């Protein structure tokens, strides 16, 4: 895994291990690569000597980890990838299947939910990720495509951040360069939190859409904004499906080479049940408290 520190990764792992356990498959090792390509390459090469039937891996980089993943596959291990495919790896030859969220669908959902909050002729910001990363690229493309097709009156102003730490700065620069922005889309929730924290100091109140229903995004949704729309991934389901795919592959069954799980559209109206569905635990008390203060909601 890229990390075991985040809720998202822990949910994915839970879905994986529980499903593998249900199938009678033994998990011999779980590696936290700490976002380090070197650590992932070392782990993959070490696992290679143990000759497992299958490896489920979330590549932490692109070209840097491609060869290590390909070596594993060439040695006969069924390789199931999570979230993204390292550059140059091809289905069938280098891996069995990619299991990810439908990132294109997530971008489209965010656009569909944000659209009604935008006035005619609005100028809105798109805060993308400045890295060669398939998932965020797909979200950005799909968001822009939906707007182009369904709201041609809207002008998109695009800025990108290279790391979460500078997302706030990027959002501020964008807002300064285009002071008339009446909405914002950020490609996932953690940089959205950074962006909103920076923008709030300058009086930002316009609607925001993002991907993933983190705790802060849920609280913002429940309190009526600025986040008004979230397209949520389902990490537990992703883990469970990756495990099923690995088992089927080991059994010699055909599997699709790309399995994309649909995202959940989340607004103020369904934030509690969506939080429970995504995280498999009750929504935070702040979310419930905010909703209880709103007549007719919850």
Partner 1 sequence: MPVLTRKDEGTNARGPGRPRACETASASLVTILNLVRTGQATTRQEIERTGEFGRAVVADRLALLTELGLVDESELGAATGGRAPRLVRFAADNGRVLVATMDQTALGVGIADLSGRLLMEHHEPADLTEPAAAILDRMTSLFDWILSRQSGPGTAPWAVSLSVPAPVAEVGRTFLFETPSILPGWEGALFVETLVRRYGVPVWMRSSVETMTMGELHAGAGIGCTAMLFVKVGKRIGAGLVCDGRLWRGALGAAGLIGQLPVQAGERTGTLDALAGSEMIARQGQVAAEMGRSTLLADLQRRHGSLTAVEVSHAAQMGDQVSIEILSQSGRLIGHVVATLANAFNPEIIVLSGSVAQSNDILLAAVREAVYGASHPLVTRDLRIVRSQMSSSAGLVGAAMVAVEGLFAPPMLKAWILQGHPTAHPAFAALRERLDGLPAAAAAQGAPRDGRV
Which spans of this chain sit near partner 1 (rule: CB under 8 A)? 63, 87-88, 90-93, 104, 132, 134, 137-138, 140-142, 144-145, 148, 155-158, 254, 256-258
Q: Cβ 96 to partner 1, closest distance in Å?
A: 9
**Nearest in space to 228 (alpha carbons), one of 244, 249, 205:** 205
Q: Cβ 119 to partner 1, closest distance in Å?
A: 17
**Nearest in space to 250 (alpha carbons), one of 88, 51, 99:** 51
**Nearest in space to 188 (alpha carbons), one of 162, 159, 154, 214:** 214
Q: Cβ 50 to partner 1, closest distance in Å?
A: 25
Complex with partner 1: residue 63 or 289, whichever CB lies closer: 63
Separation of CA 102 from chain center: 9
Complex with partner 1: residue 19 or 62, whichever CB lies closer: 62
Q: State the virtual CA torsion across 145, 147, 149, 154 in degrees, nearest 10.
A: -130
Complex with partner 1: residue 120 or 296, whichever CB lies closer: 120
Complex with partner 1: residue 132 or 273, whichever CB lies closer: 132
Q: Cβ 165 to partner 1, closest distance in Å?
A: 20
**Nearest in space to 95 (alpha carbons), one of 81, 111, 110, 114:** 81
Exposed, middle or buried: residue 189 (CB in 10 Å: 0-12, 13-18, 19+)? buried
Complex with partner 1: residue 20 or 138, whichever CB lies closer: 138
How many CA atoms are closer than 13 Å to the CA of 142, on its beta-carbon side? 22
Q: Cβ 49 to partner 1, closest distance in Å?
A: 22
Q: State the virtual CA torsion across 187, 191, 195, 196 in degrees, nearest 10.
A: 90
Beta bridge partners, 98, equal: 81, 258
Complex with partner 1: residue 84 or 234, whichever CB lies closer: 84
C-alpha 79/C-alpha 74 separation (Å) is: 10
Q: Cβ 42 to partner 1, closest distance in Å?
A: 22
């Amino acid at each position: 895994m890229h990390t075991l520190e985040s809720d998202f990764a822990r949910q994915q792992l839970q879905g994986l291990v529980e499903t593998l356990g249900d199938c009678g498959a033994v998990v011999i090792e779980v590696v936290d690569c700490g976002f380090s390509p070197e650590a992932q390459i070392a782990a993959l090469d070490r696992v290679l000597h143990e000759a497992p039937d299958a490896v489920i891996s979330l590549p932490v980089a692109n070209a840097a980890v491609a060869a290590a993943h390909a070596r594993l596959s060439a040695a006969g291990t069924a390789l199931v990838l999570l979230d993204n495919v390292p550059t140059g790896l091809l289905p069938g030859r280098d891996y069995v299947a990619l299991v990810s969220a439908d990132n294109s669908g997530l971008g489209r959902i965010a656009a569909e939910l944000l659209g009604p909050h935008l006035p005619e002729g609005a100028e809105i910001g798109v805060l993308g990720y400045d890295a060669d990363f398939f998932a965020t690229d797909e979200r950005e493309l799909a968001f822009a495509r939906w707007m182009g097709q369904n709201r041609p009156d809207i002008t998109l102003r695009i800025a990108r951040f290279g790391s979460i730490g500078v997302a706030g700065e990027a959002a501020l620069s964008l807002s300064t360069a285009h002071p008339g922005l009446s909405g914002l889309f950020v490609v996932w929730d953690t940089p959205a939190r950074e962006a909103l924290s920076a923008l709030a100091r300058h009086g930002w109140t316009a609607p925001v859409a993002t991907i993933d229903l983190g705790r802060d995004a849920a609280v913002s949704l429940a309190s009526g904004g600025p986040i008004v729309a979230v397209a949520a991934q389902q990490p537990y389901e992703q883990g469970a499906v990756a495990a099923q795919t690995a088992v089927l592959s080991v059994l010699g069954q055909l599997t699709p080479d790309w399995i994309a799980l649909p995202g959940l559209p989340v607004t103020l109206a369904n934030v509690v049940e969506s939080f429970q569905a995504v995280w498999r635990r009750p929504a935070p008390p702040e979310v419930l408290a905010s909703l209880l203060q709103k007549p007719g909601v919850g």
